[in-house]
């Protein structure tokens, strides 16, 4: 038994812009909601959403829980959606109420409901508002996304992110004490002023007259290929 749920004036409007901090906090709240609904590491969360900020939030929430996001295709793919949901063993599905697809209104929630008619394992459907239109509603199973996120207790301040590349240019930590052993290895002279690392190679004309310059001349004349010709 389903009912039509309207888009009341108190619902607000979909998010258009989120700062990085807001995005992290929304993903924290979303992961907490999914965890409360029973999503555990390794579980699958099917998602039927268009490209949107909420889709990114759901993805980050799944990553935080080590859960697997399964992207369901928009369009007339009811049999495929049913197969994906059943094979994944998912108990929670995330969807939009409706969205724009190829210039027309696509009733995502209605399409999903018809597919979930043969998915007995699904216990909760989180609905993200996208378009102001009535949507079919299953009491006890369907929940508005913005409503389940709103009553959560305030989140503690976010901990500083872990440094992914210690001691590299991306490391924003304070520099440690100077290491004299490393500083002593720094050389700032002009390498062009130094002699070649091969001590036997003095270069043409660098040997004194009594130290093999005649041999240098003979080698120069017999050198092959004859670059000097």
Produce one character per residue of 52-65: b if its CB has 16 or more CB atoms within 10 Å, e if not.
bbbbebbbbbbebb
Per-residue pLDDT tens for 119-139?
A: 999 999 999 999 888 899 999
What per-residue confidence (pLDDT) applies to 207?
A: 53
Position 75 confidence tier, pLDDT thresholds 50, 70, 90: confident
Domains of the chain: 3-149 (3.40.50.980), 180-222 (no CATH)
* Contact assessment for residue 14 and residue 54, using Cβ atoms and an 8 Å cutoff: yes
What per-residue confidence (pLDDT) applies to 80?
A: 94
What per-residue confidence (pLDDT) applies to 143?
A: 96
> Nearest-CA neighbor of 60 among 35, 92, 30?
30
212: left (phi over 0), alpha (psi -120 to 50) or beta: left
The model's pTM: 0.61
Position 165 confidence tier, pLDDT thresholds 50, 70, 90: very low
| Percentage of the chain lying above the pLDDT 90 cut | 45
What per-residue confidence (pLDDT) applies to 18?
A: 77
Per-residue pLDDT tens for 166-208?
A: 444 444 444 445 555 545 555 556 666 666 555 555 555 555 5
The residues near 207 (Cβ < 8 Å, ≥ 6 apart) are: 213, 216
Per-residue pLDDT tens for 76-105?
A: 889 999 999 999 999 999 999 999 888 889
Q: What is the dihedral of CA 217, 219, 225, 228, to 10 degrees?
A: -10
């Amino acid at each position: 038994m389903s009912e039509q749920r309207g888009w009341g004036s108190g619902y607000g409007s979909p998010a258009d812009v989120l700062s990085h901090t807001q995005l992290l906090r929304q993903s924290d709240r979303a992961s907490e909601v999914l965890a409360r609904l029973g999503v555990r590491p390794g579980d699958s969360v099917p998602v039927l959403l268009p490209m949107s900020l909420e889709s990114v939030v759901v993805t980050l929430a799944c990553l935080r829980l080590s859960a697997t996001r399964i992207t369901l295709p928009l369009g007339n793919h009811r049999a495929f959606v049913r197969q994906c949901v059943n094979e994944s063993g998912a108990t929670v599905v995330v969807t939009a109420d409706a969205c724009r697809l190829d210039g027309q209104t696509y009733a995502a929630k209605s399409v999903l409901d018809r597919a979930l008619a043969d998915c007995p394992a699904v216990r909760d459907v989180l609905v993200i508002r996208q378009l102001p239109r009535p949507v079919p509603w299953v009491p006890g199973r369907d929940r508005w996304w913005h409503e389940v996120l709103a009553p959560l207790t305030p989140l503690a301040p976010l901990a500083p992110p872990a440094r992914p590349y210690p001691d590299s240019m991306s490391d924003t930590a304070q520099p440690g004490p100077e290491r004299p052993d490393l500083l002593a290895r720094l050389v700032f002279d002009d390498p062009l002023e130094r002699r070649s690392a091969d001590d036997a190679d003095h270069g043409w004309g660098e040997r004194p007259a009594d130290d093999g310059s005649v041999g240098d001349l003979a080698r120069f004349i017999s050198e092959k290929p004859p670059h000097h010709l």
